[in-house]
Amino acid sequence: MATTYNLKRADFIFRNENDWEKILNRTLQRDKTELINELISSELKGRGGAGFPTGLKWKLASESKVQEKFIICNADEGEPGTFKDREILTKVPFKVLSSMAICAYIIGAKQGIIYLRGEYRFLKPDLEKTISEFEYYCNEINFDFKIKIFMGSGAYICGEETALFESMEGKRGEPRNKPPFPTNAGYMDKPTVINNVETLAHTFTIFKYGATKFYDLGVQFSRGTKLFSVSGDTPKPGIYELELGMSLQDFVDEFGDGDTKAVQVGGASGFLVPRKRFGETAIGFRGKLTGISLPTGGSMMLFNSSRSMFNVLDNYLEFFREESCGQCTPCRVGCQQLLIGIKAVKQGSKPASYLDKLLKLTETMQYTAKCGLGQSVANSFSSIVENFREEMIY
């Protein structure tokens, strides 16, 4: 049984940022190793999807002897229905920029880049103004650091870090083979730290209040707070900062409409949790104690009993079929087969047992796809098909 909290709202991310100059200046005076250790001890994990420990990522990049390095802020935010990164960049951009500068200081980078989702072009003018103000300050304190904005092209896959590098290098947005990992060879094959917008906002909190404050929030393996984009059948859609580790039941009690039959945790690449599992499911990173994980960007979509789970799955699969970059066999063809396959079962041209073949197929996709997109199609597919099998057939 997972250790869970009751739902606890928090307010760190959007708390005012008026003191950014002080925090930045103060942090840039500190010893680099000490900063890395502080970040590691906070146990902050990336908020962009993979949940990689941020402190370790910075440490690895700092260890590289290569001269030129980069810090990239991933603001591609392509998950349908989420706009938390947009909110952060609108409301507290200086936190993100300051964290980029601190990371640059630690790893030894001089150039920061914000990869901004194509649809967020309207943010660009304001953000550019903020950046020039920020660079002016860096200059004043003799810190050599520049930030530029790179506009994304609108493909979901370009949020995947290596596809993002490819797209920045003017190539087609296709994920690379790993290794090498970005901290060794990322953008332009130089050591690169790439972090989600929210991750960077949290590092600001950590350097402002200290790692302990952050660590004390949340539960084991899932420390701190997280922004959730709540949508679907809920009377209160929106963005909420919550402590990690709450039980899904508490979440549904707070945000549900009284008739919640399932929640999709973590968007299209996440898992569907049916009502009977609400109590035993904790929202946090996969760890020994938490039941089900929270991958990706914090999307929480509630479904009430009027919803057809077949349609839900159908939508997700259509999304993947289109948004797969198309380079690797299991993902490109697998997504087509899954989509056409569930329709065939629904229409009766394939027997119900065909669903089991498709489940096996998603397993292969999970094992063999080149990147996180193809690997995670199995999550929503198996959790929906296994929990709502009858809805797939009749």
Ligand X SMILES: Cc1cc2nc3c(=O)[nH]c(=O)nc-3n(C[C@H](O)[C@H](O)[C@H](O)COP(=O)(O)O)c2cc1C
For other proteins, the binding residues (CB under 8 A) are 155, 157, 172, 174, 177, 179, 320-330, 332-337, 340-341, 344, 350, 354, 357, 360-361, 364, 366-370, 375
Shortest approach of ligand X to residue 227 CB, angstroms?
Answer: 12
State how far the alpha carbon of 4 is from the alpha carbons of 8, 278, 298, in Å: 11, 12, 17
* C-beta closer to other proteins: residue 108 or 326: 326
Q: Nearest distance from residue 249's CB to ligand X, in Å?
A: 27
Structure-block tokens of residue 63: 């260890």
298 is a contact residue toward ligand X (CB under 6 A): no
Residue from 7, 101, 371, 385 in contact with ligand X (CB under 6 A): 371
Q: 194 touches which of ligand X, other proteins, ligand SF4, none (CB within 5 to 8 A by kind)?
A: ligand X
139, two tokens: 């200059």
Q: Which residues pair with 264 in a beta bridge?
A: 272, 301
Q: How far apart are CA 213 and CA 367, in angstroms?
A: 38
Q: Is 274 in the site for ligand SF4 (CB under 6 A)?
A: no
State the DSSP string of 308-371. Answer: -HHHHHHHHHHHHHHHS-S-SHHHHHHHHHHHHHHHHHHHTSS-TTHHHHHHHHHHHHHHH-SS
Task: Tell me if 379 contacts ligand X by CB under 6 A.
Answer: no
Sole binder of ligand SF4 in the list 24, 92, 217, 373 (CB under 6 A):
373
175 near 370, Cβ under 8 Å?
Answer: yes
The answer to whether the CB of 42 falls within 8 A of the CB of 167 is no
Kindly tell me which residue out of 103, 155, 331, 338 binds ligand SF4, with binding defined by CB under 6 A. 331
3-state secondary structure of 277: helix
User: CB–CB of 244/3 below 8 Å?
Assistant: no
- Cα–Cα distances in angstroms (integers) from residue 120 to residues 78, 98, 99, 226, 252, in the given order: 11, 21, 21, 22, 31
Contacting residue, 244, 272, 300, 325, with ligand SF4 by CB under 6 A: 325
The reply on whether position 158 binds ligand SF4 by CB under 6 A is: no
In this complex, which beta carbon is closest to other proteins, that of residue 232 or of residue 334?
334
Between residues 74 and 383, which has the closer beta carbon with respect to ligand X? 74
Does position 250 interact with ligand X (CB under 6 A)? The reply is no
DSSP 95: H
Say how many residues touch ligand X, by CB under 6 A. Answer: 21
Query: Which of 30-38, 124-132, 193-201, 377-385 is the region at the interface with ligand X (rule: CB under 6 A)?
Result: 193-201
Among 155, 328, 338, 378, binds ligand SF4 (CB under 6 A): 328
Tell me how far, at minimum, the Cβ of 345 lies from other proteins, in Å: 11
Q: Work out whether 102 is an interface residue with ligand X (CB under 6 A).
A: no
149: phi then psi, degrees, rounded to nearest 5: -105, 135
Q: List residues binding ligand X (CB under 6 A).
A: 46-50, 52, 74, 76-78, 157, 159-161, 194-196, 199, 371-373
